[in-house]
A = this chain, B = another copy of it.
Amino acid sequence: MSRKISDSTVRRLSLYLRALESLEAEEGGEAGAASVSSRELAARAGTTAAQVRKDLSHFGSFGKRGMGYRVPELAGRLRRILGLDRSWRVALVGAGRIGAALFEYADFRRRGFEIVQVFDVDPEKVGRRWNGVTIEDGSRLEDRLAEDEVEIAIVAVPADAAQEVVDRAVSAGVRGILNFAPARLRVPDDVVMEDVNIVMELEALSFALGRDPSGSGGESS
């Protein structure tokens, strides 16, 4: 058991879960050896066996020595650990291109992230229905977030509007922010924020291509 879990460990847990689910799917109805070793799980998740065991050891002992891990059991444990054994009420703020793409992204729902509210400031968009959810006016943000006890807000608005959106969401009780705006936003210590910054990813690519014109050290696996 443990203290502070590193971000890299958490991300790997997601990978392990996906690997386990694809194992479950492959085995299909066929019961049989629904077990997997740290070595095989590592291969599927692109890491090492020792890393898998160390990561899991932070949360307990899930395996059987000599046997490996029971696939469905470990998957269940990981879901519990990651907080995926429940559903999350999510609001999408910003119904532009990115917002639209995110809304349509079916994997969210499959994972328990349910987009229950959508906001925009464009009067053209307000009132439209997206697959059962009506786009609401941005001015109603606080009221509506609090009303439905939304827990996570996805921020897909222009950079210069993002801080205001975040402040208002936080004041309405939102405790998690997924930020797509290319801006450094501040949140109180008890609010968790993740940034998705695609330009930054491209810049990292550009850097790696520039100084590595042929050979050594790619990011494989």
Contacts and interface: CB of A to CB of B under 8 A. Distances in A.
Number of copies of this protein chain within its complex: 2
Nearest to A184: B46
B205 A219 contact: no
A141 to B, nearest CB: 19
A142 to B, nearest CB: 20
Contact of A198 (B102, B199, B212): B102
A209 B198 CA distance: 24
Interface in A153-180: 175-178
A155 to B, nearest CB: 12
Contacts of A4: 217
Contacts of A18: 182, 184
- Most chain B CB within 10 A, of A15, A197, A205, A221, is at A205
A50 interface: no
Interface residues of A, number: 73
A217 B7 CA distance: 12
A85 to B, nearest CB: 9
15 contacts: A10-B208, A11-B200, A19-B184, A83-B203, A83-B210, A83-B211, A88-B202, A97-B104, A97-B105, A113-B199, A113-B202, A190-B214, A190-B215, A190-B218, A192-B218
Given A97-B105, A152-B209, A175-B209, 4 more contacts: A14-B204, A84-B203, A107-B182, A190-B216
